[in-house]
């Protein structure tokens, strides 16, 4: 990208750190804030500028990106005293890439518009690997002009980038994604648990079924981790639980029943009850081993 921008990046966790690093490598001036400074240290070592608050990042940037954990974090970051909405520069572009509530995305867009600021909701899919390799799926809601302005920035972090509609549309698309992900996790865990209980080698069964009609990204990527006892987080159990809660709440607002998602949510609640909230989502397989 030929023009260097001042880009604020708030939230440098598992995914945000990699995403921000791509912006730095492209020659942008990157301003960062994270609740735990140590998680931003690699970015600071690479030339990013540290700020002590999210509002200070917003005041220093033309484009402000947030990649946070929960809707409560998003609300506090944008609407809290001295937060992003209050401190953002006139004409700034705000991009929330957290998986969050469609209703909250619309609130942010409305509040930003009142200040003459553009806002997009742009949650992502692809996990830690997609973030590292800059091939995230980016699902965007907002105005077309803001999307075109943001697209060169998105292209540094992802490959499949689409504007789905107005404010909140990106979050609704991400909910559709997470519904499919969560229910799909149950599918491969049950398949491999069944194989093991039947006396088969689940790794051999995995090899047999992953390339056929039963195949999925999760079966290909996450099942081998689970079979090897690797439950390190690419995407946290606590975050898929958050996403399922949002999806079920949004579905209720739409008068839509999602029985499959409700079953998946109940199973992940049991994973969390075992104390595995900080594990990756493949820890669901661990629950089946414990049943």
- Residue 113: how many CB atoms within 10 A of its CB? 13
| Residue 123 Cα distances to 170, 195, 205, 258, angstroms | 6, 35, 34, 22
Note the pTM of the prediction, 2 decimals. Answer: 0.92
Question: What are the boundaries of each domain within the chain?
Answer: 6-166, 172-290
- In the chain, the percentage of residues whose pLDDT exceeds 90 is 96
**pLDDT recorded at residue 205:** 98
Residues 6 or more apart in contact with residue 229 via CB below 8 angstroms: none
**pLDDT recorded at residue 1:** 42
Catalytic residue positions? 174
d(CA 156, CA 9): 14
DSSP annotation of 255 reads T
Domain formed by 172-290, architecture: Orthogonal Bundle (1.10)
CB distance 166 to 142 below 8 Å: yes
**Average pLDDT of the segment spanning 18-32:** 98
CB distance 132 to 13 below 8 Å: no
**Average pLDDT of the segment spanning 40-63:** 98
**Sign of torsion over alpha carbons 267, 268, 271, 273:** negative
Q: Helices (H) and strands (E) in the chain — how many of each?
A: 14, 9
164 token code pair: 């789905």
**Predicted confidence (pLDDT) per residue in 224-246, tens digit:** 999 999 999 988 999 999 999 99
pLDDT over 60 at 261, yes or no: yes
| CATH class label, 6-166 | alpha beta
**pLDDT recorded at residue 231:** 97
- In the chain, the percentage of residues whose pLDDT exceeds 70 is 99
d(CA 181, CA 256): 18
**pLDDT recorded at residue 2:** 52
**pLDDT recorded at residue 235:** 86
């Amino acid at each position: 990208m030929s023009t260097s921008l001042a880009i604020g990046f708030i939230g440098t966790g598992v995914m945000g750190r990699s995403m921000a690093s791509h912006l730095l490598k492209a020659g942008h001036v990157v301003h960062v804030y994270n609740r735990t400074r140590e998680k931003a240290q690699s970015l600071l070592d690479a030339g990013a500028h540290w700020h002590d608050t999210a509002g200070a990042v917003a005041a220093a940037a033309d484009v402000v990106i947030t990649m946070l954990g929960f809707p409560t974090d998003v609300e506090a970051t944008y609407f809290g005293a001295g937060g992003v909405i209050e401190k953002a520069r006139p004409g700034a572009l705000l991009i929330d890439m957290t998986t969050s509530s469609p209703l909250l995305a619309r609130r942010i867009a409305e509040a930003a518009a009142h200040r003459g600021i553009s806002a997009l909701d742009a949650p992502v899919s692809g996990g830690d690997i997609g973030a590292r390799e800059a091939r995230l799926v980016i699902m965007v809601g907002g105005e077309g002009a803001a999307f075109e302005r943001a697209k060169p920035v998105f292209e540094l972090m992802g490959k499949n980038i689409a504007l789905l509609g107005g404010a909140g549309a990106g979050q609704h698309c991400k909910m559709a994604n997470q519904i499919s992900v969560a229910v799909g996790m149950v599918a491969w865990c049950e398949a491999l648990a069944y194989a093991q209980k039947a006396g088969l080698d689940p790794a051999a069964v995995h090899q047999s079924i992953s390339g056929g009609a039963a195949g999925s990204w999760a079966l290909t990527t996450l099942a081998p981790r689970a079979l090897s006892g690797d439950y390190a987080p690419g995407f946290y159990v606590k975050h898929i639980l958050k996403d399922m809660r949002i999806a079920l709440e949004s579905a209720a607002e739409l008068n839509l029943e999602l029985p499959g998602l409700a079953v998946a949510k109940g199973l992940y609640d049991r994973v969390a009850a075992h104390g595995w909230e900080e594990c990756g989502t493949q820890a669901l397989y661990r629950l089946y081993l414990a049943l």
